[in-house]
Each structure stands twice: as structure tokens, then as C-alpha cells.
Amino acid sequence: MRDADVPGWWERLGLPGLIDIHTHFMPPQVLAAVWRYFDNAGEHYGMPWPVHYRGSVDERLQTLRGLGVRRFTALVYPHKPDMAESLNIWARDFAAHTPDCVPSGTFYPEPSALSYVREALEAGTAVFKVHIQVGDFDPRDRLLEAVWGLLAEAAVPVVVHCGSGPLPGRHTGAGPFGEVLAAHPRLTAVIAHCGAPEYAEHIAMVERYPNVHLDTTMVGTDFMNQLAPVPEEVIAQWGALEDRVVLGTDFPNIPYPFASQLAALERFGLGDDWLRAVCWANGARLLRTDVS
């Protein structure tokens, strides 16, 4: 499948387009730093990671819209204190000028976290992102206890990169975030990359907690299969979790065309109803969007 084939693909499924819960738009200097990191991916992963969509903001928006992505996110995340609040302000402003972008936010374990997360919610932020490996923090940090509680009550989804792929961190894996869920069982969490490579452990979270979901970011692609291949039994389990799996891609920071993600999902062989739920209905529900 090529990118040019994507609109025909979702039209065949009878969908009005796609909803992607895991895309990135960031302040220019932050995105430039992310791209520099991927430019040196050989040092980190032992394989190149050529960012496929390096155009301007307008070019990247045009690409998503041309693919038929009707709603997407501007996921931001800090790697140090005193960064998250300014990222949230930037992301809200970006969404205010980009109607098809869902207002996004983030947080970090710091004394001001509860205050700026509450402010973000009151300003309409509809999805948050936490990257435990990049942030190098323990999600069980006492400074986040009230934040998780606030988000659980608000029923606003938090996309959490807690799996140990593509590189493990000091607090990655199902254990630390699993304790957060045990303390806040109503939390609406979306496990990025389906928790790769700990796929089975994160499926157990979905089965245990009613509001936990998985996002498909990179899973099943030829690139990701070199780092965290998906066992056949895991694919079957994803099929049984039709209403708890949602499309994510990591656009624009992917080393292959957007279409590769959709082709990977189709290769799973889980059927058109599953694809329709993953690529549209589940994202619309989580992001509370009435786009049609």
C-alpha cells in the first residue's frame, strides 16, 4: 500500500476517514531536537531511523489531510522539569489554529503539575501524553498521585509510553504503570505501541481495567518487527479486544510511509469490523469528537 492508496482503503471500509490518536506536532526547536535524535538512531538502536515526513508544518498538515485523517493530536512530552507547562500552552494554541487537531497536553513529576494539568483540562485539553522512557521518571512518583486521580475523574485519555521498546528505561515495563492503574482503576489510559515489546503484559492491563486501551503505533510494520515482533497469539488477543484498540501512527516521526501502518493492521487478518473500530469508532469515542 502507498500513501496515495489510503483514501481508497478507508472508503472501501465505508469510513468517512481516519482518526489518529498518536501524532506529533511540537514547537520547532523541540521537534528539531527529536529529529536530531533519530538522525543518530544507529547509535541507539543499531539501525537507521530516517524520519519520513520532514516537511514544514503546513506540508505535514496537508499530508495528514490528504490521507483522510480527520482528527489527530499534537502530542508533546517533556524530558525535564519546568518544560511541560509551556508545551501545554503551545499545544493549546496550535489546536486553536488547527481545527482538526485535538487539544493535547502533558505533565512531569514536579510541584506545579497538578495546577497546570487542571488548567489544561479547564481550557479544553482532550488528550495527554506521557513518555516514561524519555522523561526518565517513575509514574508512581508522589508528585503525580493527584494528577492521575484528576485525569481519572475527568475521563480524559492519557497516551502512555510505558513499554520498554524501542529502548528500555529505568521505569518502563508493565510493572510501574501497572501500579498506577491499581491505584486509579478508572483511568482512561492508552498504552502506546501496544506496550511493545511487553505485548502480553499490557493486554492483561486492558483485560483488568475497563478504560485501558492500546494504540497501534508502529506495531506490525516491517520496521517494528525488527525490534519487537508480534507473536501470533497476541494478534488473536487484539482481535478479541476490538473496542479497546485505537489507531496510532507516530506521524511524522516514522521511518516509512503512513500507509505502512494500515497495511500492517490489514495483514493481521482480523476483519473489516475490527479495522473500522480501530481506525475510526474507538478514536472518535476516546477523543469525544462528533466528526462524520
User: What does the pLDDT look like over 207-229, one tens digit per residue?
Assistant: 999 999 999 999 999 999 999 99
Do residues 273 and 242 lie in contact, with contact meaning Cβ atoms separated by under 8 Å?
yes
Dist. CA 105–CA 158, nearest whole Å: 9
pLDDT of residue 43: 86
**Average pLDDT over the chain, rounded to an integer:** 97
pLDDT of residue 71: 98
| Single-letter amino acid code for the residue at 2 | R
Please give the order of strands across the beta sheet that includes 101-102.
18-19, 69-73, 101-102
Q: Residues 86-103: what's their mean pLDDT?
A: 98
pLDDT of residue 113: 98
Q: Residues 242-266: what's their mean pLDDT?
A: 98
pLDDT of residue 121: 98
Q: Residues 73-89: what's their mean pLDDT?
A: 97
Extents of the domains making up the chain: 3-285
Cell numbers 503505533 correspond to what residue?
217
Q: Residues 119-146: what's their mean pLDDT?
A: 97
Other CB atoms within 10 Å distance of the CB of residue 281: 16
- Has residue 12 got a pLDDT over 80? yes
Q: How confident is the model at residue 266 (pLDDT cuts 50, 70, 90)?
A: very high
Q: How confident is the model at residue 129 (pLDDT cuts 50, 70, 90)?
A: very high
pLDDT of residue 57: 98
- Has residue 120 got a pLDDT over 80? yes
User: What top-level class would CATH report for the domain 3-285?
Assistant: alpha beta
pTM: 0.96
Q: Residues 52-64: what's their mean pLDDT?
A: 97
pLDDT of residue 292: 65
Q: How confident is the model at residue 55 (pLDDT cuts 50, 70, 90)?
A: very high
Q: The C-alpha cell of 169 is what?
A: 528505561
- Has residue 2 got a pLDDT over 90? yes
Dist. CA 258–CA 138, nearest whole Å: 32
In DSSP terms, 214 is beta-bridged to: 191, 245
pLDDT of residue 290: 79
Do residues 275 and 177 lie in contact, with contact meaning Cβ atoms separated by under 8 Å?
no
Dist. CA 241–CA 228, nearest whole Å: 20
Do residues 191 and 198 lie in contact, with contact meaning Cβ atoms separated by under 8 Å?
no
